[in-house]
Amino acid sequence: MANRSKSLCCAAWVATWVAGCGVAPAMPDAALDDVATTDVVVARDEDARVDDAQSVDAQSADVNSVDVTSADAGAACPAGLGERWTCEDGTSRARCVGAVVERVRCADGCVARAGEDAVCACGARSNFTVWNCLASGDLGRCSSGAWLEQSCMGRGCAAMPAGVDDVCRAPVAMTPLQALLDRLGPTCATITAGTRCGIAVRDLATGERASYRGAERFQSASSAKALWVAAAVLDRGTAAVEPFATPVFRDSSNDAAGSVIDLLASPERVNTFYRGEAGMTNRSLCRWNTGGRTRQPSNCVPWSGASNYFTADDATEFLSRLGQGRIFGEPRLGTMLRWMTLSPRTGSPGGVLGTQLPATARATMQHKAGWIPDLGNHNDIGLVEYAPGRFYAVSILATGTAANFWLRQSPWIEYASCVIFHGVARDVADPFAPCRRP
């Protein structure tokens, strides 16, 4: 509550801004899974360590207010507005992503930063260096001169000891989301006969989580590329990774992903990152041979069959830690999340997470899809904004036969993503009703 210095991170905050294709067990390289092109390319927002990390880019509550407007389909962004936040009249900041205009009114003025996104100023709260309870019942803090807020979703916040982040109060009941997945999950078998599916969701604003077959292993495919980029950003910084970011996220390039692995001390570092910073317990990189190089880490787990796996629960844990700034903070976090918006917004195979989402959520989602056509494998994992500044992490994984891949898996993932959005947002009485069932 009082102004304090940073010493410890707590696990109840809203995230800002998540992860794409693997490799077959016995293939000489990984070139089969990434042959799609992207129709729409959207960019978004922007170094601290794990203990100085949380960042909420769209402020809320009683200090800074958010306005989101949508242009007609096909309309261009207004003149002067692009994908980076810029100051408007010194009192607000604005940007336009995919013809969706977002404006944030800054109570203490807007600060322009050369080559980076503009931020709301901290003003008299510059010494709020940990999350502090605000009069609104939400949380606020100042990070590198930028005022950040996270909503407690009306639950209020609780004061922690001096030097420790205040936290949002725990949600009272967390059953609706699990009930939703219990109903949604079995539709995989009926809509996509012969396919096995796994889903995991975590609302980063409320902490509510749910999963369906969330602990079962699936081929990670190119969705794992987002994790490899995060590991390289953590160990090497954004400048070293920048040359490969666009081909990895926009084009899902296997060669570029291999180059990202090569930035690490060794391929083994991918697996230590998985079980360490990413918090994943049932995962493995065992093989990524592309670009004329062989990468076969010695710490591949025995059950993997020399392929690459993770679970929906594990992928969602990574996304949650990433979005909450628990892996790295600004400015690396903003850059990583901006790269993740380069992934396609709609369509199979690379944009399935966004196809049936509302326009504002589709424009801002950070994600990475993955696919291995001959193995009938398709995934998409990401961070989705369901209200200004409020995100959920989601992983939807499917594996079956090659025939199911193109004809049934992609439409089912699009459908499942839509149902999950409305289930988390709770904007309609029946989350299934607005979604096109294949």
Q: What is the mean pLDDT of the chain?
A: 81
343 and 404 Cβ atoms separated by less than 8 Å: no
Question: 């042959």: which residue's tokens?
Answer: 35
Report CA torsion sign: 243, 146, 54, 388: negative
| The two three-digit tokens of residue 436, written as one number | 């096109």
pLDDT band at 115 (very low <50, low <70, confident <90, very high): confident
Q: How confident is the model at residue 405 (pLDDT cuts 50, 70, 90)?
A: confident
Q: Quick one: average pLDDT of 303-311?
A: 80
Highest mean pLDDT, choosing among 37-51, 273-287, 292-306: 273-287
> In this model, does residue 96 exceed pLDDT 80?
yes
- When mean pLDDT is compared across 7-11, 110-114, 120-124, 283-287, the lowest value belongs to 7-11
pLDDT of residue 67: 58
- pLDDT-based confidence at 39, cuts 50/70/90? very low
Distance separating alpha carbons of residues 22 and 351, to the nearest angstrom: 16
- In the chain, pLDDT over 70 holds for what percent of residues? 80
> What pLDDT is stored for residue 345 in this prediction?
96
**Cα dist from 405 to 20, 184, 376, 401, whole Å:** 15, 19, 5, 7
Q: pLDDT at residue 391 above 60?
A: yes
How many CB atoms sit inside 10 A of residue 122's CB?
A: 22
Q: How confident is the model at residue 347 (pLDDT cuts 50, 70, 90)?
A: very high
Domain topology for 176-425 = Beta-lactamase (3.40.710)
> In the structure, what pLDDT confidence band is assigned to residue 348 with cuts at 50, 70 and 90?
very high
pLDDT tens digits, one per residue of 46-89: 222 222 223 333 333 334 655 554 444 345 788 888 888 999 88
pLDDT at residue 163, rounded to an integer: 83
pLDDT at 171: 60
Does 324 have pLDDT greater than 90? yes
- 399: Cα within 13 Å, side-chain hemisphere: 17
Segment 222-264, tens digit of pLDDT? 999 999 999 999 999 999 999 999 999 999 999 999 999 999 9
Which one is predicted more confidently, 230 or 22? Answer: 230
pLDDT of residue 89: 84
- Has residue 4 got a pLDDT over 50? no
Tell which wins on pLDDT, 99 or 25.
Answer: 99
The vertex-256 CA angle with 218 and 269, nearest 5°, equals: 60
Find the mean pLDDT for residues 89-107: 85
Instruction: Evaluate if residue 327 carries a pLDDT over 90.
Output: yes
* CATH code 3.40.710.10 region(s) in the chain: 176-425
Supply the pLDDT for residue 9: 29
Does residue 215 have a pLDDT over 50? yes
Residue 235's CB: how many other CB atoms inside 10 A?
Answer: 16
In terms of pLDDT, which residue wins out, 40 or 297? 297
pLDDT at residue 99 in the model? 75
Give the pLDDT score at 28. 28
Q: Which residue has the higher pLDDT, 389 or 161?
A: 389
Higher pLDDT, 52 or 195: 195
In 3D, which of 198, 214, 210, 187 has the Cα closest to residue 432?
A: 187
**What's the average model confidence in pLDDT over 195-219?**
95
Mean pLDDT, to the nearest integer, of 304-316?
87
Q: Residue 100: what pLDDT?
A: 79
Q: What is residue 304's predicted lDDT score, i.e. its pLDDT?
A: 62
Secondary structure percentages of the chain, helix, strand, coil, to 5 = 30, 20, 50
Whether a cis peptide bond, with omega within 30° of 0, leads into 247 is no
433: left (phi over 0), alpha (psi -120 to 50) or beta: alpha
Picking from 391, 383, 311, the residue whose alpha carbon sits closest to that of residue 343 is 383
